Structure 1
Amino acid sequence: MIDILVKEIQKKDNPTVVGLDPRLNFVPTFIKEEAFEKFGKTPKGASEAFLMFNKGIIDAVSDLVPAVKPQVAMYEQYGAEGINAYIETIKYAKKKGLVIIGDIKRGDIATTAEAYSDGHIGKVDIEDEQCIVYDEDSITINPYLGYDSVEPYINNCKNFNRGLFILVKTSNPNSGEIQDLIVEGEALYKRVGRLVNKWGEELIGNSGYSQIGAVVGATHSSQAEELREIMPNNYFLVPGYGAQGATAKDLKVCFNKDGLGAIVNSSRGIIAAYKNAKYTELQFAEAAREAVIEMQKDLKSVL
């Protein structure tokens, strides 16, 4: 998976991932009206609106970006209909040649971890028949429960050429309450970074990067710089750009000298770009495309 992602980043000369984190107030009125006319103001109607919106965004940016990152919670809140929209979004993005990073942030042990892993990046067994369900190329997970919560995912990475982005230093303002705690003389985020580096050693691809990556927020640039030294062969998924306040200058430290090593997420800054006064709702896809182009220029200015 990581070699495919790196190849797509190089081909499109763009380390941007578009976060498909729709909310109803992000979806243009004309799309919601069409969906609600068919299915009412119901979970089915909301999910249909999300899928229509996502397809428009994907059509507009698929030739510009290497990957998209749907956030499962935005879909999961609507139950089975929302999950179906999540799956259909993934299918549509794959048809457009995009790498899928499923933002699921799971964390559990034993058979529960195996079930999450098999469903999202492996295959599920149904009386000796194996089925692919969600079909993400890579997912985010939480390592708080230790290696036995991570091992099932690593096994599926090996078996099915999938990838992980493990939470190490997140972009939210209060991440330091836990992640900055000193453990045996070292900040916890550094300790987790060293573990991620270790876990990824046997899964380094031809690109020189591991299938096991890390989530490292752009809003904490000094910590990101430390983690880049600790994890030279782990790809960073970098949230926090744009709407959360981080600039291209802040996240430069997430990249290696080869200009690789990080993929930068933007969600509302792209998918809700049409809310800028210069656009109309009908131009939501055009606005998203222009936002991607501007982000690409911004990132290239520091690499």
Structure 2
Amino acid sequence: MAADHFADRLVARIEATRSLLVVGLDPELRQLPPELLDGVEDLAGAAAAAARFCRAVIDGVAGVAPAVKPQSAFFEAFGAAGLHALEEVTAHARAAGLLVVEDSKRGDIGSTMAAYATAALGRLQIGERELPVHDSDAVTLSPYLGPESLQPMLDAADAYGKGLFVLVRTSNPGSARVQGLETPDGRVFEQVAKLIDELGAERRGACGYSNVGAVAGLTYPDDARVLRALMPHTFLLVPGLGAQGGAPDDFPLFVNDDGARRRRRRLARGRRRLENARGRGRCRSDGRRADPRRRARRRERADRRAARAARARRPLALVARAAALARTRRCGAPVAATAPARASAARSSRRAGGGPSRS
């Protein structure tokens, strides 16, 4: 197991940013700001515009969110130039202190999966040198070819301190036709959840969490408690907020009861910090008394974030639109800014004390 464990790094970023937001980067060409497309005439120009847009979003949310999630398909649509743009965006995000979850949902036989693992997480051996390719911090995977298909990714994650998020209960409406099928040992997604817990049992970091996470859609809140019980040491990546119909009030269902109250406070703070990043003013009070020095420090941080957002200008308008799409209500759950307008939140399941349960 690599000393630099993914789960430990994720906990550290959550604590540093006081946020659970994951910012989706889905640079669909027709939704990019028009000024970025001036003079674009070929795939290389389109890929460069997408990369510029994503860099602006990253600059706006650095220090506000612990991670970003580039959807590889939107980059692959630009051809070879798009793959270069994905690597550029990944490097820019990591340099800004963000973890990068490559959303590619890979799943294939062993030899092919080994190549996917090299591209997303590992190193390519060239002579005596080992060179990173995409160098993401984590990748999303499909488990439906069986556990042996995951092994190359597990090996790469262990060797290089990376993480995995395996599809369990996805947010799309048709997922229930496969994932919800009943078997003698429970529904299909429950069997996948048990597999993830089993694979993660010997892959926990110092924080107590595994480097094998799960994707669990916010659109199926009735299954949240089952998933939590089956995967007590697993981070959850929770998509489906906003356009897909997921409700902010359902977020607390995806955490353990003993951490829900702390999570709601942390998620509400994350939403306010995101609003600040898009240039809407200083953070509002969270209801707790603060001494003048703390308020002054908060104002200074807010001013720095507002300045970053002002430099980003037009691209962050789409982030603002995504945030407004899922404005929180009763429980103060977060909005995950996306480009163009998708949302997800990283969740953990640790019980009382430490890490994301404090968040």
Residue 77 of structure 1 corresponds to: 77
Aligned-CA RMSD value? 2.9
Give the Cα separation in 2 of the matches to 1:193 and 1:102: 21
Residue 26 of structure 2 corresponds to: 21
Residue 199 of structure 2 corresponds to: 199
Q: Deviation string for 1:6-53 (max 9, x for gaps)?
A: 1211221211100001111221111111xxx2xx42111110110111
Residue 212 of structure 1 corresponds to: 212
Runs of 5+ unmatched residues, structure 1: 275-280
- SS for the counterpart of 1:78 is coil
Which one has a bigger Cα radius of gyration?
2
* TM-score, length-scaled by structure 1: 0.87
Tell me: CA distance 1:82–1:20, structure 2 relative to 1, closer, same or farther (3 Å). Answer: same
Residue 102 of structure 2 corresponds to: 102
Given that residues 23 and 68 in structure 2 are in contact (C-alpha distance below 8 angstroms), is that contact kept between their aligned partners in structure 1?
yes
Given that residues 16 and 296 in structure 1 are in contact (C-alpha distance below 8 angstroms), is that contact kept between their aligned partners in structure 2?
no
- C-alpha displacement at 1:301, in angstroms? 2.2
- C-alpha displacement at 1:258, in angstroms? 3.0
* TM-score, length-scaled by structure 2: 0.74
Q: Which moves more between the two structures, 93-102 or 124-133?
A: 124-133
Tell me: CA distance 1:31–1:299, structure 2 relative to 1, closer, same or farther (3 Å). Answer: farther
Given that residues 22 and 68 in structure 2 are in contact (C-alpha distance below 8 angstroms), is that contact kept between their aligned partners in structure 1?
yes
User: What is the 5 A alignment of 1:258-273?
Assistant: 258-259=259-260
Runs of 5+ unmatched residues, structure 2: 1-5, 280-311, 334-358
Given that residues 120 and 136 in structure 2 are in contact (C-alpha distance below 8 angstroms), is that contact kept between their aligned partners in structure 1?
yes
Q: Deviation string for 1:146-195 (max 9, x for gaps)?
A: 11100111111111110000000100000001000112141000000000
- SS for the counterpart of 2:165 is strand
Given that residues 60 and 288 in structure 1 are in contact (C-alpha distance below 8 angstroms), is that contact kept between their aligned partners in structure 2?
no
- C-alpha displacement at 1:63, in angstroms? 1.6
Residue 316 of structure 2 corresponds to: 285
Percent identity of equivalent pairs = 34
Q: Which has the higher contact order (CA 8 A, sep 6+)?
A: 2
Tell me: CA distance 1:297–1:172, structure 2 relative to 1, closer, same or farther (3 Å). Answer: closer
Which of residues 16, 32, 39 is equivalent to 2:37?
32
Residue 9 of structure 2 corresponds to: 4
- SS for the counterpart of 2:314 is helix
Q: Is residue 241 from structure 1 mapped to residue 226 from structure 2 by the alignment?
A: no
Q: Is residue 184 from structure 1 mapped to residue 215 from structure 2 by the alignment?
A: no
Number of aligned residues: 286
Q: Deviation string for 1:67-88 (max 9, x for gaps)?
A: 0000000010111001111110
Give the Cα separation in 2 of the matches to 1:293 and 1:173: 23
- C-alpha displacement at 1:202, in angstroms? 0.7
